[in-house]
């Protein structure tokens, strides 16, 4: 884990500009929100996820996450079919705040165009640079 300003950035992940990460796990990809994303939202109170079997498309919204004062779309970093959703989030949505890179994961998908689409995401190194820019901008 590397800290850029007050935001933690995790190694081994791909990063989407809407503040979501994607982790390749064998033939699956796990999605989650970044530390920057959860800090911007503040305490998450509600999450709306689709069902297992639903399709997600890169850069498109597949659900929403709501905090006391904000609401944002969950954006898919890559396309695929949903294999698993994080059931724990229904009762404990603030897992997204407390453990965004671990227990607070969102969904697990079987990717459909992984090799092509990974090119559109930031690698960990590229993300570090990008977060440094964001930290400066405020």
Partner 1 sequence: MPRKIVIIGANAAGSGVASAARKTDREAEITIIEREKYPAYSRCGLPFVLAGEISEFEKLIIFPLAWYKMMKLNLLTETTVQSIDVKEKSIMIKSADGKESTLPYDTLVLATGARSFIPPVKGYDKDGVLALRTIQDGIKFKEKMKSAKAAVIVGAGFIGLETAHALFENKINPIIVEMLPWICPTVFDQDTANIVQKKIEEHGIKVIVGKGVEEILGDTSVTGVKVAGETIPADMVLMATGVRSNTELAVQMGVELGITKAIKVNSRMATNISDVYSCGDCVESQNMLTGLIGMCQLGTTAVRQAKVAGTNAAGGYSVFPGVLGSSVSTFFGVEIGATGLTEFQATRLGLKPISGVVTSKTRADYFPGAKDIRVKIVAEPEFGRIIGCQIVAGEEVTQRVNMISAGIQKQMTIFELAKADTCYAPPVNETWEPIALAAEMAVAKLRR
Q: Which stretch binds partner 1 (CB under 8 A): 71-79, 80-88, 92-100, 121-129?
A: 71-79
3-state secondary structure the chain: CEEECCEEECCCCEEECCCEEEEEECCEEEEEECHHHHHHHCCEEEEECCCCCCEECCCCEEEEEEECCCEEEEECCCCEEEEEECCHHHHCCCHHHHCCCCCCCCEEEEECCHHHHHCCCECHHHHHHHHHHHHHHC
Among 71, 113, 120, 129, binds partner 1 (CB under 8 A): 71
- Rg of the Cα atoms in the chain: 14
Smallest distance from the beta carbon of 137 to partner 1, in angstroms? 9
Q: Which stretch binds partner 1 (CB under 8 A): 3-11, 67-75, 95-103, 121-129?
A: 67-75
Q: Name which of 71, 82, 19 is nearest 47 in CA terms.
A: 71
Smallest distance from the beta carbon of 114 to partner 1, in angstroms? 28
Q: Which is nearer to partner 1, 66 or 94 (CB)?
A: 66
Q: Which stretch binds partner 1 (CB under 8 A): 24-32, 61-69, 81-89, 119-127?
A: 61-69
Report if residue 17 touches partner 1, rule: CB under 8 A: no
Q: Which is nearer to partner 1, 41 or 109 (CB)?
A: 41
Q: Which residues bind partner 1 (CB under 8 A)?
A: 40-41, 64, 66, 69-73, 138
């Amino acid at each position: 884990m590397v800290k850029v300003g007050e935001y933690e950035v995790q190694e081994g992940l791909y990063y989407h500009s809407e503040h979501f990460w994607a982790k390749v796990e064998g033939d699956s990809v796990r999605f989650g929100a970044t530390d920057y994303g959860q800090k911007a939202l503040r305490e998450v109170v509600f999450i709306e996820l689709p069902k297992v079997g639903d399709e997600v498309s890169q850069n498109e919204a597949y659900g929403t996450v709501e905090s006391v004062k904000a609401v944002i779309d969950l954006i898919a970093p890559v396309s695929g079919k949903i294999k698993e959703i994080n059931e724990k989030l229904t009762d404990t949505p603030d897992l997204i705040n407390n453990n965004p890179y671990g227990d607070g994961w969102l969904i697990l998908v079987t990717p459909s165009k992984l090799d092509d689409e990974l090119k559109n995401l930031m690698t960990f190194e590229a993300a570090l640079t990008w977060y440094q820019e964001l930290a400066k901008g405020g």
